[in-house]
Amino acid sequence: MKIALAGAGAFGIKHLEGLANIKDVEVVSLCGRVLETTKPVADRFGIKHVTTKLEDCLAIKEVDAVILCTPTQMHAVQSMACMKAGKHVQVEIPLADSYVDAQAVVKMQKETGLTAMVGHTRRFNPSHQWVRNRIAKGEISIQHLDVQTFFFRRTNINAAGGPRSWTDHLLWHHAAHTIDLFQYQTGEDVVTANAVQGPIHPTLGIAMDMSIQLKTTSGKLCSLTLSFNNDGPLGTFFRYICDKGTYIASYDDLYDGKQQKIDVSKVAVSMNGIELQDREFIAAIREKREPNSSVAKVLPCYKVMHELEQQMSQ
């Protein structure tokens, strides 16, 4: 399978590292914003075609699928451009920065029948898969999911600490991970959603702090705290408070409520959530099936974010 990847930044490199471990997959084209910084990444991974225009990637006949690691504001438009060109597409989270645009992508996927998937990585991290497997077996049930998403980003920097050409967003990116995961793990819809945000940053134009409360149909709760003002420790920390035990997940690692590490090395074929996400995308295309975190499966998350955005703008 031949892949084109757009976005040669921190997350694009994470995908390239994951794809390198998947059999019979070749990245044949790399698209980046600046040619001078994109070419060294292409050289590192042996990618021969380098461009600054997505349409150049889409014009390559042998390209089967595209992975988009581009700025949030481009996700919906570029996802639809890929499908219009007859390419399967995986777009990094979020699918869009509005519910209307997210719906448009889902509509096109249904019309084309192509595989379209969103990088909701928490569905694939071994830590969260371990919890999900126990829920599926009826061994535990979530009572309250308490989540802290903390970064220190008072300027536009990416996950690797480098400069970013666009502005990140607490609701339309970071909250998307948790809102989708909460509905996915509980198997229930969110029926109550409340949110408040702090002051808007004078330069970045976004809220730097946010608090979100969610409740499902059966009364399961989620409390989500987000901040770009937090000076360490950084990352997202998920505390699953269950009827039998408490579990704390941070990316691919998992601990119990007594801070004892849980071995999740046998949960999947890799300990890398991004690689597992890419493996699902490739497998879904090859098996002609709907992938986990397809655009349709994650759409309810964007509906909740739309409602929260309207609430905070009042």
Q: Does any domain span residue 97? A: yes
pTM confidence score: 0.95
CB count in 10 Å sphere of residue 242? 18
Residue 31 sits at φ, ψ, to 5 deg, of -115, 130
Q: Could you tell me if 255 and 234 lie in one domain?
A: yes
Bridge partners, 149 (sequence order): 226, 236
Q: Could you tell me if 168 and 184 lie in one domain?
A: yes
Q: Could you tell me if 98 and 204 lie in one domain?
A: no
pLDDT of residue 166: 74
Spatial contact of 78 and 91, defined as CB atoms under 8 Å apart? yes
Q: Does any domain span residue 217? A: yes
Q: What's the pLDDT tens digit per position in 56-88? A: 999 999 999 999 999 999 999 999 999 999 999
Domain enclosing residue 206, as ranges = 125-267
How many Cα atoms sit within 13 Å of 34 on the Cβ side? 7
Q: Could you tell me if 246 and 129 lie in one domain?
A: yes
Count Cβ atoms within 10 A of the Cβ of residue 137 and give its class: 0-12 exposed, 13-18 middle, 19 or more buried.
Answer: exposed
Q: Does any domain span residue 308? A: no
Q: Could you tell me if 169 and 282 lie in one domain?
A: no
pLDDT of residue 177: 97
Q: Does any domain span residue 312? A: no
Q: Does any domain span residue 137? A: yes
For residue 66, the domain's CATH number is: 3.40.50.720
Mean pLDDT by 10 residues, the chain (314 residues): 96 97 98 96 98 98 98 97 98 97 98 98 98 98 98 81 80 97 98 97 94 98 97 94 98 96 98 97 98 98 98 91
Q: Round to whole Å and give the CA distance between 77 and 264.
A: 37
Q: Does any domain span residue 154? A: yes
pLDDT of residue 242: 98
Q: Could you tell me if 174 and 249 lie in one domain?
A: yes
Q: ∠117-118-124 over CA atoms, to 5°?
A: 100
Q: How many domains does the chain have?
A: 2
For residue 146, the domain's CATH number is: 3.30.360.10
Q: Could you tell me if 235 and 190 lie in one domain?
A: yes
Q: Does any domain span residue 165? A: yes
Q: Of 174, 208, 211, 215, which Cα lies nearest the Cα of 195?
A: 211
Q: Could you tell me if 130 and 253 lie in one domain?
A: yes
